A and B are shown apart, each in its own frame.
Chain A
Amino acid sequence: MRCGFLGRMTPSLDYPLYARTLANGLRVQVNPDHAAPIVAVNLWYDVGSRDEEPGHTGFAHLFEHVMFQGSAHVASGEHLTLMQNAGGSVNATTWFDRTNYFETIPVGALDLALWLEADRLSSLADALTTENFENQRDVVKEEKRQRYDNQPYGDAIERIIALAFPQGHPYAHTTIGSMADLDASTVEDALAFFKRHYVPGVAVLTLVGDIEPDEAFAKAERYFGTIPAVARPLRPEAPPLPPIAGVPREVVTAKVPQDAVYAIWRLPARGTREFDSVDLALTVLGGGQTSRIYRALVRDGGLAETAGAAAMPLIGGTSFGYAFARALNGVDAARLEAAFVAAIELFLVDGPTEQEVARAKVQYEREWLGELASFDSRADLFGAFQTLLGDATLVNTRIADFAEITPSEVLAAAQKYLQPDQRAVLTYLKEADHG
C-alpha cells in the first residue's frame, strides 16, 4: 500500500484501485493489500428504504434478512454458518440509500464467499418459503422493538425524518418501517422485490485484501458472470426540496430520563461541495468538546448532559442535519433550545474562525484514515462511492477535497441552510414532570 502526504493538512491517499464491469453489468473493483492474509468481500446493492412503495415501508431491510434464508444450493442460515466456520465475520445492513452485504474472511475462503453471494443473487427465489419469510418478519419486528420501540428516545429518528421530509417523500419513513406494513407484507412481495431490485447491474462488488486484481476479476467472472443481465429499475427523480418553513414542531411527552431537544434542517445532497461545507459548519457547531454548542450547553452553560450537531448525508436530492441536546436535571427543553439557537445565530453572523475550520478538517482526516485502516470498512467506502457517486477514487482524494473548502464557504453554506427559521423542532418532555 502506498500513502503519501503532501503536507500537514492535505494528505493525498493512494490506495490502488482496479475496476472492471462484467457483461451483465456487475461492477467489480479490487484494492490489493497484502498486509494480512485476509480479504474483505463487499456487495453494495443500489436499493434502500427510499425505493420502498407506499404501504411497504421496512421492506428493503426485511428483504436483507430474507437474503440469509437460503438459495438454490444453500440452506437457510447456512450462508452465515459457512462463513463463520471459515473463520470469517459476516453481516449486512440496510439504510436509506443502500443494502450492503459483506464478509471478511481468511483469503482461502474467498471462492466460497463469492459463490455464496452469487448463488443468492441468481437463485434466491428458488428457495424462499412462506415459513422462512414469516419467521424473518417476526425477527425484524423484534429488532424494531429492541432498537426503537423499547428504548427511551428510540423513536427520535422516525420523528426527525417525518419533520424533515414531506409525507410520501422517499426519505420520510425509517428503514425499519412500520409494524402495520411489516404485518401486511407477504412472501409474494418479497419475490417481486427480489426480481425488481436484485439484478447484477445495480450491484458493486468490492474486494480489499490479499488478492491480485487479475485473480479477483477471474473469480468474479467465474461466479457471477453467468447471471443474466436484467434492466435496472428506473428511479424517479428526486429534486432538492426547499428549506423547511414555519418552524414545525412536535412535542412528545414520554417516559424519558430527561427533556431533550432536536433541531432539524434540510441540507443539499451528499457528494456536493455545498454538503461538505455545511457538514463542516455542523462540526464546528456541534462536533467534539471544543464545538460551539457543546461549549455553550455542556461546558459553560451547565444545561445539558450531552449536546452536539451532525449531518446525515443522503444521495437523493436532499440530506438532513440536526443539532441536539439532552438536559441535566432541572433544566427544561425551552432553555436548551434557546441556548443552541443563540449559538447558531452567533455563528451565522461571525462565521467560523480559520482555526475552527482547520480543527474540523484535521479531525475529519483522522476519522477518514481510521475508516480506511481496516479492510472491511475500506471496502465499504469504495462500494459506497462507486454506487452513489459513480467514482470510488474519490475515497483517495476525499481529504484533499475537504481541505480545499474555505471558512467563507462554510459560512455561506451555513447561512443558506442553517437559518433558525428553516428548522423543525422535536422536543421530548419527561412524563413525570409534565404530566
Chain B
Amino acid sequence: MAETDRPAVERPGPFHTPAPVESRLDNGLRVLTFQRPGQHVASVGLVLDLPLILEPRDREGVATLCVRTLDEGTRTHPSATFAEVLEDQGAVMSGSAGYGATTLGLSVAAREEPFAAALALFAEAVLEPEFGEDEVARQREIRIAQYEQQQVQPAQRATAALRETLIDKRYRASRPAGGTTATVSSVTAVDVRAFHADHYVPHLATLVVAGDFSFDPLPAIRAAFGCWSGPHVARPAHESPDGGAPSVLVIDRPGAVQADVRYGWRTIDRTDHRWASLQVACYALGGAFLSRLNAVLREEKGYTYGVHLTTGPGRHGALSVVQGSFRSEVAADAIGMIQPLIDVSSRPFTSGEVDSAVTFITGVTPLRLATADGLVDQVATLAAVDLPLSFVDDYLAALADVTPASATEAAVALLPPKGGTLVVVGDAATLVPTLTEQGWAVTVQDAED
C-alpha cells in the first residue's frame, strides 16, 4: 500500500524577474541583455514600435510581407544565399507584424562565433533587405493562400470573425493583421521597400538578447546594429479601439461536426488597476482545469475537449473571449449555459478560487521565464506595449492584493454575462433554431462569403 497521507506543499519563496543589462546605442537602439546560466541557445528579439495603422488602408498586409521578405535576400547576400549563410550558422529567424508592434526573432547557439555571425546576418536582414520583385510576389501569393486557408479553418475563422464583429470597423484592429486577399493583392515590392524605409528605424526599436554567454555580447550587438540609421520620425500614435454594440453571428458550415464558439468583450489592458483582478476572474471562470466553465461543459457534460476564457491584451484595451468547440448537436445548449456559468453577481468568487488563481499564476511565472526563449518572449511582449519587464514584479504584487470582492467586481463590470458578442462557426441548420429560442438575435452568414 502506498502512502495515504497527502503531502503538504511548501509555497515557493518570492520570485524576482531577472535584471537586464540595459544600454542604448548611439543611433537610439535600446538594448537589453540577460545572462542566463545553462541556456545554450541564445534568443534574440527585436521589437519595432510599428502599429499597423501606419499601413495604407488599401495595402493592408504590407507590414506582414515586409517581415516575411526580410530574410529572402540582402544587398550583401542576395536572394537565396542569405538563407544559406544563416542556416550554415545553425540559426533560424522568425517574425510577425502585430497590431501594435513588429517583432523579429533569432535563435542560435550561444557560443561566440555562431552568435556573432548570426547576429550580423540578422542585422543585415533588418538594415539592408533586398525585397526582390520575385520574392515579394511569392510571399504575396503565399499570404493570400494562407488567408484563404484561415477562412476554411473553423477555429481561425471564428477568432477572426469575432474580432471583426466585436471591434468597430473604423479601427485597424477589426481586420486581419496580415491583410486580406483584396488588400494583399495590390502590395508591390515598391510598397514593401517604402514601408521598410519609413518605419524600420533604430530609435523606435528595442533589442532583447538572452543566453548563457561566456563572452560579452555587446560588442557583437554594436558591430551588427551600430550602423543602423533611419529617418527621425516621431514616435507613432496607437489606436484605442472601441467595441461596437453586442451582436450575434453564425457563420454557416453545413454538415460541420462541431461548432466553434467565441463569446467576447472589449476589456482592459495591463495598465488598468483592475488587471490582476480580471486575470484572477478569467482563471476562475475559464482558466483552471476545474474552472466554472470547464468543470461543467467538459468534466460534467462531456460537450467539449475544453472551454477557456482568456484575455489577450494589446496596448490599449483587450479582447476577453470564451472559446471552445462543441459537437453540433449540443452546441446550442452549451452556448445557452455560458451566460449562467459566468454570472458572478449571483455567485461571487470564493477565497478558494482567488487563492488558486493567484498561486497558479505566481507559480508558472518562473517556469515561463526559465528559458532564454521564454524570457525574451516576455520582455518583447511587454516592450511591444511600452512596458518594462519590472511590470511582471508589479503584477505579482498586485495579484497578492486581489480579493474575492475585487475579482467579482472586475468580472461584473468587464464580463457582463449578457453583454458579450457571440460568433459561432458551424452548421446553421442545427444551431439557429435553438439559439433563436434562447433569445439570440442571430445573423447568419455563408462561410463562402
Residues on A facing B (Cβ under 8 Å): 1, 3, 5, 8, 33, 35-38, 72-73, 76-77, 80-81, 84-89, 104-109, 111-112, 115, 118-119, 122-123, 134-143, 145-147, 149-152, 222-224, 226-227, 255-258, 288-290, 295, 298-299, 302, 305-306, 326, 328-329, 355, 358-359, 362-363, 365-366, 369-370, 372-375
Contact = CB atoms under 8 A, between A and B. Distances in A.
Contact of A80 (B13, B145, B290, B371): B290
Contacts of B154: 150-151
Given A80-B289, A84-B356, A295-B80, A112 B6 contact: yes
Q: Which residue, B8, B151, B258, has most C-beta atoms of chain A within 10 A? A: B258
Contacts of B305: 139-140, 142-143, 146-147
29 contacts: A1-B37, A38-B367, A73-B4, A84-B288, A85-B360, A87-B364, A119-B2, A134-B302, A135-B301, A138-B301, A139-B299, A139-B302, A142-B304, A146-B258, A150-B325, A223-B3, A224-B2, A257-B145, A257-B148, A289-B71, A298-B138, A328-B141, A328-B142, A328-B145, A359-B84, A362-B90, A363-B90, A365-B109, A374-B370
Given A77-B289, A146-B305, A374-B371, A35 B145 contact: no
Given A112-B9, A362-B89, A370 B373 contact: yes
Contacts of A329: 141, 144-145, 148
Given A77-B299, A115-B7, A372-B40, A108 B138 contact: no
Q: Which 7 A-B pairs have the closest CB atoms?
A: A87-B363, A138-B302, A108-B10, A362-B90, A111-B7, A106-B12, A80-B289
B40 A359 contact: no
B153 A151 contact: yes
B138 A302 contact: yes
Given A106-B11, A122-B2, 14 more contacts: A36-B366, A85-B356, A88-B363, A89-B364, A111-B7, A136-B302, A140-B305, A146-B258, A146-B304, A147-B305, A152-B152, A363-B87, A366-B90, A370-B107
Contacts of A295: 80
Contacts of B325: 142, 145-146, 150
Interface in B1-35: 1-4, 6-13
B295 interface: yes
Nearest to B118: A366
A122 B138 CA distance: 58
B88 A358 contact: yes
A369 to B, nearest CB: 5
A355 B89 CA distance: 11
Contacts of B2: 115, 118-119, 122-123, 223-224, 226-227
Contacts of A85: 9, 355-356, 359-360
Nearest to A15: B38
Contact of A366 (B7, B92, B142): B92
B139 to A, nearest CB: 10
A264 to B, nearest CB: 22
Contacts of A369: 40-41, 109
Nearest to A138: B302
Contacts of A140: 305
A35 B38 contact: yes
Given A36-B366, A142-B303, A299-B80, A290 B87 contact: yes
Contact of A142 (B7, B109, B326): B326
A267 to B, nearest CB: 24
A145 B111 CA distance: 45
A299 B146 CA distance: 16
B238 interface: no
A253 B362 CA distance: 49
Contacts, number: 224
Contacts of B295: 77
Contacts of A136: 302
Given A373-B39, A373-B41, A288 B3 contact: no
Given A135-B299, A150-B258, A108 B9 contact: yes
B16 to A, nearest CB: 12
Contact of A109 (B9, B299, B327): B9
Contacts of A112: 6-9
A105 B7 CA distance: 14
A373 B107 CA distance: 12
Contacts of B87: 288-290, 359, 362-363
B148 A359 contact: no
Contacts of A370: 41, 107, 373
Q: Which residue, A118, A142, A374, has most C-beta atoms of chain B within 10 A? A: A142
Contacts of B258: 142, 145-146, 149-150
B250 interface: no
Contacts of A139: 298-299, 302, 304-305
Contacts of A302: 138, 141
B193 to A, nearest CB: 20
Contacts of B11: 106, 108
Nearest to A80: B289
B91 interface: yes
Contacts of A77: 289-290, 295, 299
Contacts of B144: 329
B300 interface: yes
Given A112-B7, A373-B371, A122 B40 contact: no
A290 B84 contact: yes
Contacts of B216: none
A359 B3 CA distance: 52
A3 B40 contact: yes
Contacts of A149: 257-258
Interface in B128-180: 138, 141-142, 144-146, 148-149, 151-154
Contacts of B437: none
B449 interface: no
A134 B142 CA distance: 44
B83 interface: yes
B276 interface: no
B256 interface: yes
Nearest to A108: B10
A362 B37 contact: no
